[in-house]
């Protein structure tokens, strides 16, 4: 096992899973979606204003594929110069050469780059109102993404699946709560201060509106307290596993919601799937990914890439070491796949990220 990979949970299972991936055929997918829950002030930091978080997924994948946001003339960094995590994913994809696909499960803005459209794509509603999705859409998105997994992923040894959904830790908490998990206080957030009380309030408000007899029913829970993305990730994973493809769930604490959905759908995960994230998530003081994964799917390993920006020459990147952003757009899991399957070094990833950052912010105005 390369030193660049950190094993946080189920070390033996993780080693066995990762051992077989050397030189394997990888397909990387990035699912995007929106939920109006991200516009509740304070829920999401993934945008300059609460409303603007609706645009972030499209801008993220436009940047991922082309090096710039197309739909709006913006640079995907905060005023402090902290860049989107897609900068890591983009740098890694360049180094590793993985084929990759964007999947739109319900982005508010349609990205101006080629992307797979799920026909039932829909922007999620407010989960505090128990109106995450229109009736029937959870199972439609599940079926459609499962079909995508069965047809497009076939032949790949490994599927890396990442996401961009502002408000995602809150809707993930919603899904977990609706399925009966005591996940309060365990999900992560995109800033150093994690607004647990707000997330819990939003979820509990919606949960009260979900009839007791529907709790535990995965499709009803998603339609009340979820969003279009997590259920679509679950379907894509299910379709891929059916084709004999292994899976890295490339994300942070939200991946527990995907695991919970897969479990409620009786999908056999043992040996075929790990959660792959960043050290910033795994060692986050405001959340507990290992506890959360144990709670939901005891045997699923949690691994992370040992990326460290503390010596970066760019202040915007050094912010990652202070709890900003942490993860997203499959950054951690994509890097895990690159290290394990292509032997890429973390040092080379950091260098490539710095180059991306440099070309992103131009010739110096935002440089630290």
Residues at the site binding its own copies, with contacts judged by CB under 8 A: 25-26, 65-66, 97-101, 103-104, 110-119, 144-145, 147-148, 151-156
Q: Locate 323 and state its tokens.
A: 């709890």
Least distance from C-beta 176 to its own copies, angstroms?
A: 27
Least distance from C-beta 345 to its own copies, angstroms?
A: 21
Q: Which residues pair with 33 in a beta bridge?
A: 106
Terminal CA-to-CA distance of the chain, rounded, Å? 34
Q: Which helix (H) or strand (E) holds 207?
A: helix 196-208
DSSP letters, 69-103, are -SSSS--SB-TT-PBPTHHHHHHHHHHH---EEEE
Give phi and psi for 273, each to the nearest 5.
-150, 140
Q: Which position has the token pair 């596993």?
A: 241
Nearer to its own copies, 77 or 101 (CB): 101
Least distance from C-beta 119 to its own copies, angstroms?
A: 5
Q: Which helix (H) or strand (E) holds 220?
A: helix 218-225
**Residue pair 103/233 in contact by the 8 Å Cβ criterion:** no
Least distance from C-beta 103 to its own copies, angstroms?
A: 8
Nearer to its own copies, 151 or 359 (CB): 151
Least distance from C-beta 150 to its own copies, angstroms?
A: 9
CB neighbour burial string for 159-185, b if at least 16 within 10 angstroms, e if fewer: bbbbbbbbbbbbbbbbbbbbbebebeb
User: Beta-carbon neighbour count of residue 104 at 10 Å?
Assistant: 24
Nearer to its own copies, 78 or 107 (CB): 107
Nearer to its own copies, 104 or 288 (CB): 104
Least distance from C-beta 102 to its own copies, angstroms?
A: 9
């Amino acid at each position: 096992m390369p030193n660049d990979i950190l094993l946080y949970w189920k070390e033996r299972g993780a080693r066995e899973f990762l051992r077989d991936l050397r030189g394997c055929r990888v397909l990387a997918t990035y699912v995007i979606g929106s939920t109006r829950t991200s516009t509740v002030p304070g829920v999401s930091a993934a945008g300059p204003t609460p409303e603007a978080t609706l645009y972030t997924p499209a801008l993220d994948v436009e940047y991922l594929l082309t090096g710039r946001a197309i739909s709006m003339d913006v640079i995907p960094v905060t005023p402090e110069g902290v860049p989107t995590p897609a900068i890591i994913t983009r740098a890694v994809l360049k180094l590793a050469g993985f084929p990759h696909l964007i999947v739109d499960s319900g982005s508010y803005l349609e990205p101006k780059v080629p992307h797979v459209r799920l026909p039932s794509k829909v922007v999620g509603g407010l989960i505090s109102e128990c109106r995450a999705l229109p009736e029937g859409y959870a199972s439609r998105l599940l079926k459609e993404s499962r079909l995508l997994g069965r047809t497009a992923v076939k032949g790949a040894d490994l599927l890396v699946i990442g996401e961009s959904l502002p408000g995602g830790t809150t809707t993930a908490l919603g899904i977990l709560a609706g399925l009966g998990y005591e996940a309060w206080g365990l999900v992560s957030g995109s800033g150093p201060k994690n607004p647990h009380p707000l997330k819990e309030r939003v979820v509990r408000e919606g949960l009260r509106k979900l009839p007791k007899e529907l709790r535990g029913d995965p499709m009803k829970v998603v339609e009340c307290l979820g969003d279009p993305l997590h259920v679509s990730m679950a379907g894509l994973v299910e379709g891929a596993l059916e084709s004999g493809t292994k899976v890295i769930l490339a994300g942070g604490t939200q991946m527990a919601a995907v695991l919970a959905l897969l479990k409620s759908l009786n999908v056999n995960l043992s040996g075929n799937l790990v959660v792959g994230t960043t050290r910033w998530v795994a060692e986050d003081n405001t959340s507990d990914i290992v506890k959360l994964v144990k709670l939901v799917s005891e045997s699923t390993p949690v691994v992370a890439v040992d990326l460290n920006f503390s010596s970066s020459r760019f202040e915007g990147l050094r912010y990652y070491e202070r709890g900003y952003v942490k993860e997203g757009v499959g950054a951690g899991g994509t890097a895990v796949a690159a290290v394990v399957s292509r032997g890429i070094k973390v040092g080379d990833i950091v260098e490539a990220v710095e180059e991306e950052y440099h070309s992103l912010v131009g010739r110096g105005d935002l440089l630290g």
